[in-house]
Amino acid sequence: MADMTVIDKLIELHNLSKAEYLELLQYREDEEAVGRLQAEAVRLRKQYYGIKVFTRGLIEFTNYCKNNCYYCGIRRGNPHVNRYRLTRDEILECCRQGYGLGYRTFVLQGGEDPYYTDERMAEIIRAIKTEFPDCAITLSVGEKSCDSYRLFKEAGADRYLLRHETADESHYRSLHPAEMSLANRKQCLFDLKKLGYQVGAGFMVGSPGQTLSNIAEDLLFLQELKPEMVGIGPFIPHHDTIYAEEKAGSVDLTLFLLSVIRIMLPKVLLPATTALGTLDPRGREKGLSVGANVVMPNLSPVENRKLYELYDNKICTGEEAAECRGCLSRRVESAGYHLVEERGDALR
Ligand code: SAM
Ligand code: FES
């Protein structure tokens, strides 16, 4: 095998330069290198989190979106989506079911839907916090003003997921319409950090046009932002987008990057994503075996699940919440880990 100083350096220093990340990526199919990175990632994950796996109950509460991200199945420009919104009471009912099943974090995710004004969002957050004071609330509702983020925080939100999608300006341009900007997305992430949220950034692996240099930029950006959570999953085409004929991202490269990110940010909360489970029937178990420590089962009402279709063939759209919890629990145990009933905050 070639000289692996760049791997030693990552393990020792937890950060690299862009040129070094590019060099590291050359090892992505080298069995020995992949094995070393994986072993170190698992060692760190066990040092900080033992064999615990945290669960987040995902509530996809609206599939309306004012944005038009070219890769996304529910973007505004797709006329074939049957749109839905959940009421405050329906969202609370999802939380009740979830609480009974052991969830202590609820993730409210949706398109950027102007129906949910800041005040409506704050009211939903307050209602959840009042009924479930021992639970964490994670929001994933896109780009807002710093004032909106502050209002949500004051209402009780704890965490925020906003993938940066790609840290390269021209790649960002090719995936999004002109009215969106990488600068604003990054600004949102820094605002959220400043406001005291536990923040999650991330990107799709194998998104259309993505190069290894882009991935190296993504890793550098994560190194700069130091998010508490990182969401990465393979890109999967959706039949009603301009990228319908593109290839899906690589499961192996996603697994490689999960290990790298665990080593870069040893205490990070790192989900084994649904997209990974969609491309490979054991994708989520594999994710846990290379450094991931979070799973995000679906708590949305079964009748809405198929309508929140970001990409084709999304798994877990037919099961009741209880079935999802049971299935995930068995999968997690089969990988040698244990699903816990805890908020699972980031270690600082
Ligand atoms: N609207 C919020 C936002 O923009 O952050 C949250 C919802 S958005 C649908 C959640 C994530 O889904 C995006 O950050 C994107 O990375 C991912 N996603 C969208 N389309 C996808 C696709 N075709 N394949 C894989 N992931 C996709
Ligand atoms: Fe808004 Fe995908 S374009 S959620």
Q: pLDDT tens across 14-54, in order?
A: 999 999 999 999 999 999 999 999 999 999 999 999 999 99
Q: pLDDT tens across 190-234, in order?
A: 999 999 999 999 999 999 999 999 999 999 999 999 999 999 999
- Among all bound ligands, the one having the nearest atom to the CA of 296 is 1
Please choose, from the candidates 159, 89, 161, 99, the residue with its C-alpha nearest in 3D space to the C-alpha of residue 123. Answer: 89
Cα-to-chain-centroid distance, residue 319 = 21
| CA dist., res. 4 & res. 289, Å (int) | 22
Residues 6+ apart with CB under 8 A from 130: none
- Among all bound ligands, the one having the nearest atom to the CA of 68 is 2
- Among all bound ligands, the one having the nearest atom to the CA of 65 is 2
CA 195 – ligand 1 centroid, Å: 23
> How many Å is the Cα radius of gyration of the chain?
19
Q: pLDDT tens across 158-170, in order?
A: 999 999 999 999 9
| CA dist., res. 206 & res. 26, Å (int) | 16
C-beta 312 within 6 A of ligand 1: no
| CA dist., res. 199 & res. 217, Å (int) | 19
Classify each residue of 234-267 as buried b or exposed e, where b means 16 or more C-beta atoms within 10 Å of its C-beta: bbbbbebbebeebebbbbebbbbbbbbbbbbbbb
Residue closest by Cα to atom 26 of ligand 1: 235
- Among all bound ligands, the one having the nearest atom to the CA of 276 is 1
Report the pLDDT averaged over residues 106-124.
Answer: 98
Q: What percent of the chain has pLDDT over 90?
A: 98
Let me know the angle formed at the C-alpha of 153 by 189 and 168, rounded to the nearest 5 degrees. 10
Residue closest by Cα to atom 13 of ligand 1: 163
Pocket test for ligand 2, best of 60, 63, 75 (most atoms within 8 A of CB): 75
pLDDT value of residue 3: 56
pLDDT value of residue 238: 98
| Average per-residue pLDDT for the chain | 97
Report the pLDDT averaged over residues 185-191.
Answer: 98
Q: pLDDT tens across 225-255, in order?
A: 999 999 999 999 999 999 999 999 999 999 9
- Phi, psi for residue 232 in degrees, rounded to 5: -125, 145
- Phi, psi for residue 59 in degrees, rounded to 5: -115, 105
Residue 4 scores a pLDDT above 70: no
C-beta 249 within 6 A of ligand 1: no
- Among all bound ligands, the one having the nearest atom to the CA of 163 is 1
CA 274 – ligand 2 centroid, Å: 17
3 vs 9, 14, 39, 259, CA distance in Å?
A: 12, 18, 18, 19
Residue 2 scores a pLDDT above 60: no
What's the DSSP call for residue 269?
B
C-beta 279 within 6 A of ligand 1: no
Residue with tokens 């502050």: 150
Instruction: Report residue 348's pLDDT band, with 50, 70 and 90 as the boundaries.
Output: confident
C-beta 259 within 6 A of ligand 1: no
C-beta 235 within 6 A of ligand 1: yes
CA 38 – ligand 1 centroid, Å: 26
CA 76 – ligand 1 centroid, Å: 13
pLDDT value of residue 1: 47
Pocket test for ligand 1, best of 203, 310, 312, 315 (most atoms within 8 A of CB): 310
Q: pLDDT tens across 123-156, in order?
A: 999 999 999 999 999 999 999 999 999 999 999 9
What are the pocket residues of ligand 2 if the criterion is a CB atom closer than 6 Å to any ligand atom?
Answer: 65, 67, 69, 72, 74-75, 111-112
